[in-house]
Amino acid sequence: MTTILVPYDSAMRLGMGFNTYTHALCINDAVQKPGKIPATENDLRDTDEYSPVSQKVTYSSKYVDKVSDVMNSLNISGSLEIKLQSIGAGGQAKASFLDTDKFKQSDLNFLIQVKVVNNKLIADDVTEFVPIENVTPSQFTDVYGDGFISGYVEGGELNGLVSIKLKDRSTARDLQASLKVNAPFAGGAVHAEGEGSLDMKKNESDVEGERTISVAWAGGGDIKAETATDWTIDALKEAAFTFPSKVAQVPQRMYAIVTKYSALRSFQTRSVNGTPLDYENAGVYTSMLLEAYLEYKSIWKEIQLMSWDAEHNLVTLTKASSSTSMQTYATNLKAAYKTAKDAYDIAKAAEDKARSVMKPEDEGAVTKRSRQTLRKPLESNKVEPYAADLFGLDEARTDCRFEMIKIVAEVDAVTFDPKVAIDSERKHMFLSPSIFRMLMPLSSPRGSDPGIKQIGGTAYVDPAGQQLWTGDRSKMHKRFLEALDRHSSMAGSFRYSDTAAGTYIDSGSSFYTSLDYLNRDMARPTGCGIYFQASGGKELPWLLFINMVHGQKPDGGYVVNRVGSAAIGRDFIGSSKDINGRILKVEIGLKKRYPTDQHATVSALRLTDEWGWRAENGTADEWWSDSAPPEYSLRGFWMVMGEVIDRMGVVWGKDPPS
């Protein structure tokens, strides 16, 4: 490969050196015209001899399951992306539309691209490699890179990423395995074919789930249709089809053409002190490093959230279990670190000995080379489950940061020596993110009031074989199913209702249930507060807080059953009322967040007792209701809640005999 395309940067100049692995700009005028004449913009020649412009247009739409797949499609350097992420600078501008967290949370991601090439501008006579005196072989790549900028590509590029978080996640694997996407360039159809168990040929709108559409383009000016108010699949389709004609009118430099030094006759015939490095085999390894780095970024955020929840007593932490395989892996990791450390110590001792007899004028170059070749290995992770408390989470956060540093160090190692990427003996340089997750404590929601009595202790098996809930398990949130199993012994005293129809399950939401702090002897509620988050004095169906009082404790305080937000702040509106009788009917109000939203969320709550007394808050477009089974009345609620209340149901409790 003698030429490659890299994203254009306004700081680029003809003849400038370039590192194709790191996408770093190197020395100016590394290559000039014969006679050592620097290249200028006037030396560019349009290779397209046709008038008007003869465009080359490429439409593509494909399923992507890795962030690195998107980066490769955008011609973005994985090593540079890691470097920018590590210093907090974010990604390259071209990839700024990509939300990596949203990408990882989604079940299906489709990358839609339109690439338009109007013309190629080439400087044919920029062919004379101009070396600099006193550049040592170890400095060659830092100074010159491995290629030079020999031209540009003008045109435009449109990138759209459609991310779908499925309502029914059980179909995700089949869709991922079977979909070969023809949309949106085939009439909007999503055609599935292959070995998956699904047999479907649907319009995109038939795939139920939360959609996120991210769009970025260069060239073409304003490409969105005048009638379009937001980015939808139809708006993206229309923009894609009209994009080439707009690029013909408003082109832009999209890529720089980089030619390898090895393609120059002048480079081959000159006696050059050093040679460029070959990075062609480093791409696969770097993509893996990028995926691991972004995964650790996600883990870091999870630890931060878990620490906050644990500090505010919102979750119960459980230490992860160890295994024989984990212990064996830890032994191998420790042995690999010892081998690397011993090799470093030997090389360092030899380098120190050589330095002691070195001439002062040679010490600078050797010092620079030794810093690159002698890298002290970072200590390996102990591969032991972290303690299930704030101290353990703090240790996990520190170790997570060190694993990210190790990945950055590995990028530096590949930059200095590309052979690192194909070294079969180079293992355990950092801990796999999936293994790191196995070491983290497990968390489960609980009440924030330390005075609340928790379920636990003596196991209870209902002699009648009753169940908490008898619905279709395949359609429910995994946290709901975990709660069913966790509280199965309570089936003789409590019941879960079904869910309010029409609400949407967000797989990234948190699950709350009153059964995490109820016990069989707890009295029915005597007071209830219903609070909805408010903005500008208006009720919004965003977050709900329910505060139920179940009588007084011996110390004079109240036994409280809380579901939803951790506390009532200034942004919540509502009131608390006394409850005189048994609440036998619960109505849950539903409302769409936006007029175009397909899914309703919980926006109101209405409680009715046996005497007709009613407590109510919120507004709704439609209502879902459930009545208590015989001899049962309201004890609490369960809900799946993220940015909104995705699903909500009732916890009914058995009343004592009259």
- Residue 546: per-residue pLDDT: 64
Asked whether residue 369 is assigned to any structural domain, the reply reads no
Q: Are 611 and 493 in the same domain?
A: yes
Residues of the chain with pLDDT under 70: 1, 48-53, 85-97, 167-209, 271-274, 358-374, 446-466, 473-475, 477, 500-509, 517, 519-524, 526-580, 593-599, 642-644, 657-658
Indicate the residue type of 250. Answer: V
Q: Are 457 and 537 in the same domain?
A: yes
Q: Are 391 and 246 in the same domain?
A: no
Q: Which residue, of 269, 297, 320, is where some domain finishes?
A: 269
Q: 616 pairs with which residues across the strands?
A: 606
Asked whether residue 376 is assigned to any structural domain, the reply reads no
Cβ atoms of 184 and 112 within 8 Å: the answer is yes
Asked whether residue 326 is assigned to any structural domain, the reply reads yes
d(CA 296, CA 410): 15
d(CA 34, CA 37): 6
Q: Is 555 helix (H, G, I), strand (E, B) or coil?
A: coil
Kind and range of the H or E run holding 263: none
Cβ atoms of 124 and 150 within 8 Å: the answer is no
Q: Are 212 and 303 in the same domain?
A: no
* Residue found under tokens 């070294």: 423
Asked whether residue 355 is assigned to any structural domain, the reply reads no
* Residue found under tokens 């169940």: 467
Q: Are 229 and 331 in the same domain?
A: no
Q: What angle do CA 507, 619, 535 make, to 5 degrees?
A: 75
Q: Are 393 and 499 in the same domain?
A: no
- Residue 185: per-residue pLDDT: 46
d(CA 225, CA 472): 44
Q: 303 pairs with which residues across the strands?
A: none
Distances (CA, A) of 597 to 13, 208, 502, 534, 650: 48, 12, 12, 20, 25
d(CA 351, CA 355): 6
Q: Are 240 and 293 in the same domain?
A: no
- Residue 150: per-residue pLDDT: 92
Structure tokens at 108: 């299906």
Instruction: Cite the beta strand spans of 93-146 per DSSP E.
Output: 108-122, 128-129
- Residue 370: per-residue pLDDT: 47
* Neighbour tally for 302: CB within 10 Å: 15
Q: Are 20 and 160 in the same domain?
A: yes
- Residue 527: per-residue pLDDT: 67
Q: Which residue, of 230, 246, 269, is where some domain finishes?
A: 269
Q: Tens of pLDDT along 511-522? A: 778 787 676 666
Please tell me the total count of domains within the chain: 3
Q: Which residue, of 227, 246, 269, is where some domain finishes?
A: 269
Asked whether residue 50 is assigned to any structural domain, the reply reads yes
Which runs of consecutive H residues, i.e. helices, occur in 417-511? Answer: 433-439, 478-486
Q: Are 194 and 311 in the same domain?
A: no
Cβ atoms of 517 and 650 within 8 Å: the answer is no
Q: Are 497 and 396 in the same domain?
A: no
Backbone angles phi, psi at 323, to 5 degrees: -155, 165
Range of the domain at 607: 451-654
Q: Are 504 and 438 in the same domain?
A: no
Asked whether residue 625 is assigned to any structural domain, the reply reads yes
**What CATH number did the domain enclosing 571 receive?**
2.100.10.30
d(CA 637, CA 635): 7
- Residue 360: per-residue pLDDT: 58
* Residue found under tokens 């079969």: 424
Q: Are 76 and 218 in the same domain?
A: yes
Asked whether residue 343 is assigned to any structural domain, the reply reads no
- Residue 526: per-residue pLDDT: 66
Asked whether residue 557 is assigned to any structural domain, the reply reads yes
d(CA 436, CA 381): 9
Give rounded-to-5 percent helix, strand, coil for the chain. 30, 30, 40
Query: In terms of pTM, does the model score above 0.75?
Result: no
